Amino acid sequence: MTVQGFFSAKANAAAQAYGIPRIAVIGRGFSGMMMAIALMKTVRTPFHLQLFDPNSSVSGGQALASGHSSEILNSRVRDLSVSAGDPDDFNDWLCSNAPFRSAVPAAIPGFLQIFVPKSIFSDYVYQRFSEALSSRRDITVQVSGETVVGLRRGRGGRFFVESAGVSNPLFDMVVLATGYGIADDQPQSGEPVATPTTVRARRLVSRPHTVLLGSGLRVVDRLLQMRDSGYDGQITLVSRRGFLPQSHTRSNADPVFPAEAMPSNLSEIVHFIRAACENAEASGQSWQSVMNGLRKHARSLWRSLPAGQKQQFNRHLRALYDSHRNRLPEALHVRLQQELAEGNTLLRRGHFLRRTPTGLTMRPAGQQGIEQIYADEVIDCRCQAPDLTTPLTQSLIDAGLAMPDELGLGLAVEATGALSVDGRTTDGLFAVGPLGLGSLPDIDLVPEIVMQAYAAAEGVAARFYPQCKAV
Ligand SMILES: Cc1cc2nc3c(=O)[nH]c(=O)nc-3n(C[C@H](O)[C@H](O)[C@H](O)COP(=O)(O)OP(=O)(O)OC[C@H]3O[C@@H](n4cnc5c(N)ncnc54)[C@H](O)[C@@H]3O)c2cc1C
């Protein structure tokens, strides 16, 4: 959906003229769109909202943009509601969608447990955004197509948002929703468009051969997309740990978790969870139910771990954890297993070293030697972490408005989205979504992003309009 032009810059001038509070959201991926919805539904007094992103349309970022992700989302409908306190909202939207209902009759009366294509989730998010907007005649929204390259305090504690080539008036509040950064095919500050993750090499092997780096959802996405579009060459997946996403269960896997207190030491916690999974399987439940239950404890567990153990988790266990939490719908998992069994797709465990003109070099797991792999194409599908070296993040850190979390995975962020520096929150500045990955487990997933966006919106309502109650 392209909304550029729907909301004119005149709104901006009007907001300034009437002294209406101005809020900037940087990034229009899922987190940015979610933040906009949460603000429009929560903050009951007039405001001007400006959404920055170099994407020319409201693309939905990595989760929703069609060029970047799989046809089928890997979360069930029950976990994708964008409405606070109403987990059935997406299901209700699907039930009221006649074309969807007639296409998926078997799931009537409810769709809570099914997996849907991302295009449908995307339609749902945009419709809720449009509805929230059309119900608010008292606010103005402006879409700006610039990359934000800096942020600093201006007069009266307000924020100066620096975007390439444009001078913006001061903002009362800023929300960072920059996720995994600018997508590869988006130019930064006027740079030419490039696709740095893909390298084509001179053909040295008789059959087409593509290497995909990584083993998470993006790899599976790309692999299945290539096969769907007719690619029948050899595909090699090169991954350090080699943990591919596990499968969802056919049934709903409602969360379960042992009632006993959890141990405080990382290795004992791992034993505890492993035993809980075994017990669940033995009693006819699934380990997936335990992983779903664990998510409810993840935040307090993470907070309680000393920094050294967090680092240990990050180095040795995160890939394993990710492969068990980011699961594939059963049908896709079966396809992946078939791909591997047929031999046309190979999983190689090892450390990717560098690209070469003819492919890449890697150090296979457990070996000292270096191996050269010939490939026509090497595509980087590894899980990214937020980039802390961008001009925007650097400007925040330099100005003392933000600091990296203790693992350096992202910025130090509270559950409410407030940024914190040495334990003190930064007034008027929030970060929603994956930027908080080192502070808040699972903050890269839809339910956690939704919760955080509403918490941040409540924070805005309370901070700027203390006399008003949020609805
Ligand atoms: C293939 C795939 C499938 C997924 N499936 C699911 C699922 O089924 N369930 C689930 O819960 N989660 C899923 N996720 C994860 C989750 O949805 C993502 O974590 C989510 O997309 C994060 O969105 P985001 O908006 O924070 O970040 P992004 O998608 O990275 O968007 C960030 C946006 O910010 C913009 N931006 C960055 N820097 C600047 C700047 N300086 N100035 C202006 N704009 C900027 C970028 O251009 C981009 O548009 C999936 C993710 C992927 C990739």
Cβ of 446 closer than 6 Å to ligand 1, yes or no, is yes
370-380: average pLDDT: 96
User: How far, in Å, CA of 358 to CA of 200, rounded?
Assistant: 8
Q: Write the pLDDT tens digit of every residue in 134-186.
A: 999 999 999 999 999 999 998 888 999 999 877 788 999 999 999 988 865 44
Say if CB 32 and CB 53 are below 8 A apart. Answer: yes
Could you tell me the sign of the dihedral formed by the alpha carbons of 94, 336, 359, 381, in that order? Answer: positive
The CATH architecture assigned to 197-246+327-380 reads 3-Layer(bba) Sandwich (3.50)
Candidate of 3, 4, 30 to mutate for ligand 1, largest count of ligand atoms within 8 Å of Cβ: 30
User: How far, in Å, CA of 342 to CA of 345, rounded?
Assistant: 7
Cβ of 441 closer than 6 Å to ligand 1, yes or no, is no
pLDDT at 360: 97
Task: Name the closest-CA residue to atom 44, ligand 1.
Answer: 53
Kindly give the number of the ligand 1 atom that is closest to the alpha carbon of 163: 42
Task: Name the closest-CA residue to atom 21, ligand 1.
Answer: 63
Say if CB 34 and CB 80 are below 8 A apart. Answer: no
pLDDT at 205: 55
Three-point CA angle 20, 26, 31, nearest 5°:
110
Say if CB 220 and CB 66 are below 8 A apart. Answer: no
Kindly give the number of the ligand 1 atom that is closest to the alpha carbon of 183: 47
Q: Write the pLDDT tens digit of every residue in 115-148.
A: 998 889 999 999 999 999 999 999 999 999 999 9
pLDDT at 195: 36
Candidate of 444, 449, 450, 452 to mutate for ligand 1, largest count of ligand atoms within 8 Å of Cβ: 444
Share of the chain above pLDDT 90, in %: 71
Q: Write the pLDDT tens digit of every residue in 69-96.
A: 456 788 999 999 999 989 999 999 999 9
Residue ranges covered by each domain of the chain:
3-73+117-191+386-464, 197-246+327-380, 266-321
Say if CB 202 and CB 358 are below 8 A apart. Answer: yes
**197-246+327-380 matches 3-73+117-191+386-464 in CATH topology:** yes
Say if CB 157 and CB 428 are below 8 A apart. Answer: yes
Q: What is the pTM of this model?
A: 0.87
CATH code, residues 3-73+117-191+386-464:
3.50.50.60
Cβ of 395 closer than 6 Å to ligand 1, yes or no, is no
Q: Write the pLDDT tens digit of every residue in 283-315.
A: 999 999 999 999 989 999 999 999 999 999 999
pLDDT at 63 over 60: no
Kindly give the number of the ligand 1 atom that is closest to the alpha carbon of 148: 42
Distance of CA 60 from the midpoint of ligand 1 (Å): 7
